[in-house]
Amino acid sequence: MDENAIVFHIGPLPITEAVITTWGIMALLVLACWRVTRRLKRSPDGWQNVLEGVVLTMQDAIEEIVPGRSQRLLPFVGSLWIYLVFANLAGLVPGLHSPTGQLAVTSGLAILVFLATHWFGVRESGWLPYLRHYVQPNPILLPFNIISELSRTLALAIRLFGNVMSLEMAALLVLLVAGLLVPVPLLMLHVVEALVQAYIFGVLALVYIAGGLESHTATNPDQDNPS
Amino acid sequence: MKDLSLFALFSTVGALGAIALGVMFPALAMGRSISKALDALARQPEAEKSILRALFIGLAMVESLAIYVLVIVLIVLFRNPLLAYLLK
């Protein structure tokens, strides 16, 4: 729980352990993808198959929630999914901590989702129609809509942070009271939880974005604000 | 010193009570939602995908309530902001 472990400074900017881990994950992903996609073949084999499978699965999942717009949303939501899976699982590597176990990282991701909601919504329907959905059934609801926007962003950040941090902490506590190999079942739970939380973060981001996209059509109003 | 031990006692009891209640009620809510989802699944097995997706999102929402309680409890136990006034 050394959340502000500063490794070194770049000028006045302190670089913490979470940033280094994130850079490492980024470098790993970019290098792996670059190596695999250097020589693309028309009939994929080996790692190219794996990558295409991953991308297609994510595209299908997005297509189910937001039909017809998966091409536009795939870069953002897919990046969230892939990064979160690796970031959550990084805590299992000895000597590393999950970057997502720190509130600063998850807040950053949640703010990105918050901005992306408005970005995609405005791009889809223009400024005025997008802003109009805040006063849609009745202008009295405006404060509630704004509060719900903010609180769901906060909830997104706290949920991921709390889950990852509490799992690491639980393993640590069990190690403290029990012994060397006893936390292993908890670490297995960590694997499941890491995948589930990454999935849920991405799906919630997707649902929020879908709510922004569908704001001007208001086809299914009961589904566009689940917080 | 008396004050400090009382403070430790109350914050520990408060934290334990909070986490007990804060796990109990989300657990009830999750049980309800899972049983409803299973009902719906038994009635319409072909709607499995959308039911499960809604279930997962709902469970995440409910679970975050328990996580809020956990975060508050951890703040009370490890980083209590009121402790500074007591030790001053």
**Residue A56, pLDDT score:** 92
Q: What is the pLDDT of residues B12-45, one digit of tens each?
A: 999 999 999 999 999 999 999 999 999 999 999 9
The pTM (predicted TM-score) of the whole model is: 0.81
Structural domain spans, chain B: 27-79
**Cβ within 8 Å, pair A158-B71:** yes
Residues 6+ apart with CB under 8 A from A32: none
Nearest CA in chain B to A207: B57
pLDDT in the model for residue A220: 46
Q: Which of A145, A75, A80 is nearest to A110 (CA)?
A: A80
Minimum-distance CB partner of B60 among A64, A166, A204: A204
Q: Map tokens 């209590």 to a residue.
A: B80
Q: CA A207 → CA A66, A117, A152, A182, distances in Å? A: 8, 9, 11, 39
Phi, psi of B37 (to 5 degrees): -65, -40
- Please give the ipTM for the structure prediction: 0.71
List alpha helices for chain A, DSSP H: 17-36, 47-65, 70-89, 103-125, 127-132, 142-177, 184-213
Q: Higher pLDDT residue, B54 or A223?
A: B54
The confidence score (pLDDT) of residue A174 equals 84
Residues 6 or more apart from B58 whose CB is under 8 A from it?
A226, B33
Q: Which residues of A touch B63 (CB under 8 A)?
A: 159, 163
Cβ atoms of residues A116 and A202 within 8 Å: no
Contacts of A209 in chain B (CB under 8 A): none
Give the residue from A106, A107, A159 with the most B CB atoms within 10 Å of its CB, the best one to mutate. Answer: A159
- Determine contact, residues B33/A124, Cβ cutoff 8 Å: no
Contact A86, A25 (CB under 8 A): yes
Q: Does A170 touch chain B (CB under 8 A)?
A: no
Contact present, A204 and A122 (Cβ < 8 Å): no
Q: What is the pLDDT of residue A30?
A: 93
| A200: nearest CB among B49, B56, B74 | B56
Q: Does A200 touch chain B (CB under 8 A)?
A: yes
Task: State the Cα–Cα distance between residues A118 and A139, nearest whole angstrom.
Answer: 19
Strands A6-10 and A13-16: antiparallel
* Residue of A155, A162, A207 lying closest to B70 (CB–CB): A162
Handedness of CA B52, B54, B58, B60 (dihedral sign): positive
pLDDT in tens, chain A (227 residues): 455 677 787 878 888 888 889 999 999 999 998 988 888 888 778 888 888 999 999 999 898 888 888 888 899 999 999 999 999 998 888 888 889 888 889 999 999 999 999 999 888 888 888 888 788 777 888 888 889 889 889 989 998 998 888 888 888 888 888 878 888 888 888 898 889 889 989 999 998 898 888 754 544 444 445 54
Q: What is the pLDDT of residue A59?
A: 92
| Number of neighbouring beta carbons within 10 Å of residue A151 | 11
Domain boundaries, chain A: 6-213
Contacts of B2 (CB under 8 A, 6+ apart): none
pLDDT score at A127 = 85
Superfamily holding B27-79: F1F0 ATP synthase subunit C (1.20.20.10)
